[in-house]
Every structure is written in structure tokens, then in C-alpha cells.
Amino acid sequence: MTIHKEGYKTIAWSVIIFAALNLVSVYIFSLNNPFICWFILFISVALLIFMISFFRVPNRTLTHREDGIIAPADGKVVAVEEVQADEYFTDKRIQVSIFMSPLNVHLNRNPVSGEVKYSQYHKGKYLVAWHPKSSTENERHTVVYRKDEKEILIKQIAGALAKRIVNYLQAGQPVEQTEEMGFIKFGSRVDLLLPPDAKVQVKIGDKVRGGVSVIAVW
């Protein structure tokens, strides 16, 4: 396991705050209320471990399939439905939505190899990630991939806790399946808009792993 580069600054500040908080608590409470010192230490250690684990990048064997669309994120499948596309596409598409809790790995990966045809950031609200309007009203970044004349759309969507979406892709850029596409800080969601003829391999409630699970084949 390694720590993602997006976490270096956040973890550094967390360590500084952890050290300062505990030094102050020892100075103020160690003589008369040592229990408070231990309580603060316990809570701060738990929060520091959570912060470090949030930015973890686990070692795993990634899946590469020419006919496969691989999960761009870890999380739980919360929607598999036909929708009317509202960005880039004008036709109906199959939407697969993956909810990422704060405990999931938040590194996002390319679902296919090919060319980036579209990459656009949108400011927005911070509705909870499972809210039906989060895909159209929340802060988000949309990417369209083209492979062999077929295209799929990915939306990185901020949640109630997420305040920053990171995306590394630009239009015209060639990409490889399972390589990094970006990172979302804290609870969030990723939507995939697939061609109508894609054969979806997951169902609502399934837990998927980014770069490993096959979402659909085409």
C-alpha cells in the first residue's frame, strides 16, 4: 500500500494539528485531568489514522480487457438505469452509479483505453452523493472516452463532504485502461453513461473495486 500524492499536504497538516493538540492537552490537563489527555489522544489518533487511510492506494492486480469497461472507482453500485443524457450526448444511455463512502479508496481510474474526447469541470452544489440531482447540480468533472468509435462518459461528482475534485485528463489525450484519471476528496459518487448496447455486468447493491471489477462489456 502507498499514499496518494493528493494526500501529502492534508496528512502533513493533520500531523501538525495532532501534535499541537496533544501537546496543549498534556500542558493543560496532565496533572489534574489525565483522563482528558488520554481521551483527546485516542480521538486524535483515530482521526489521523482515518485521514491517512483515506488517501491509501492499495496494491492490487488490475484488470485489462479490450471488450471490458472497468470500474473507475471503489464503492457500491446504487443505480443501473436508462437515462436521457444531459451533457455531450443527446440520446439515451445506460447509467451506472457508484457511491463512494469516506471509507472507500478514492483514487479514480480510466475505465477503458482510448482517447479523451471531452473533459470539463462544472461548479455546483454539495448535495449528498446519493441525491437524484447530485449528478446534474453538484460540483463535478465530466470526461468522455472514445474507443473504436464507441464513447462512454464518466462523471466525478462531489458529495456533501467532498470539496475538491481532481482530474488529470485533457481533451485529445491518449489514455490506458486502469491508469489514474483523478481523485475525489471524501464522500462522493461516480456515474458512468454507457452505450445502449453495452452489456452491464453489475447490479444495484454490488460492491466494486476500481481498476478491477468489470462494469460492462461491449
Both 35 and 93 in a single domain? no
CATH of the domain at 128: 2.70.70.10
* In-domain check, residue 48: yes
Q: pLDDT at position 177, please?
A: 95
pLDDT computed for residue 120 by the predictor: 94
Are 36 and 95 contained in the same domain? no
The type of residue at 165 is I
Report the number of distinct structural domains present in the chain.
2
* Dihedral angle of Cα 10, 12, 17, 22, to the nearest 10 degrees: 130
The catalytically annotated residue of 25, 119, 134, 188 is 188
Note if 188 is an active site residue: yes
pLDDT in tens, the chain (218 residues): 899 888 898 899 999 999 999 999 888 877 788 888 899 999 999 999 988 888 888 899 999 999 999 999 999 999 999 999 989 998 999 999 999 888 888 899 999 999 999 999 988 665 655 555 556 667 889 999 999 889 999 999 986 665 678 899 999 999 999 999 999 877 688 999 999 999 999 999 999 999 999 999 98
In the prediction, which pLDDT does 155 show? 94
Give me the pLDDT at residue 208, please: 97
- What 3-state class would DSSP assign to 81? strand
**How many angstroms separate the CA atoms of 65 and 110, rounded?**
12
> For position 97, what pLDDT does the model report?
94
Given the C-alpha cell 489527555, which residue does it identify? 37
**Confidence (pLDDT) at 6:** 85
Amino acid symbol at 218: W
User: Does 14 reside within a domain?
Assistant: yes
Integer Cα distance of 125 and 143 in angstroms: 19
Q: Are residues 82 and 161 in the same domain?
A: yes
* pLDDT value at residue 125: 65
Q: Which residues contact 12 (CB under 8 A, 6 or more apart)?
A: none
**One domain, residues 137 and 172:** yes
pLDDT of res. 193: 96
Q: Convert the pLDDT of each residue in 41-75 to its tens digit.
A: 999 999 999 888 888 888 999 999 999 999 999 99
Single pTM value for the model: 0.84
Separation between Cα atoms, residue 94 and residue 203, nearest integer Å = 12
Which helix (H) or strand (E) segment holds residue 34: the answer is helix 34-54
Q: Is the dihedral of CA 75, 108, 160, 17 positive or negative?
A: positive
In a domain, 124, yes or no: yes
pLDDT at 117 (0 to 100)? 96
CB-based contact 140:155 (threshold 8 Å): yes
Residues 6+ apart with CB under 8 A from 68: 112, 214, 215, 216, 217
Mark whether 79 and 175 lie in a shared domain: yes
Residues 83 and 46 grouped into a single domain: no
Are 106 and 196 within 8 A, CB to CB?
Answer: no
Q: Which domain holds residue 41?
A: 2-57
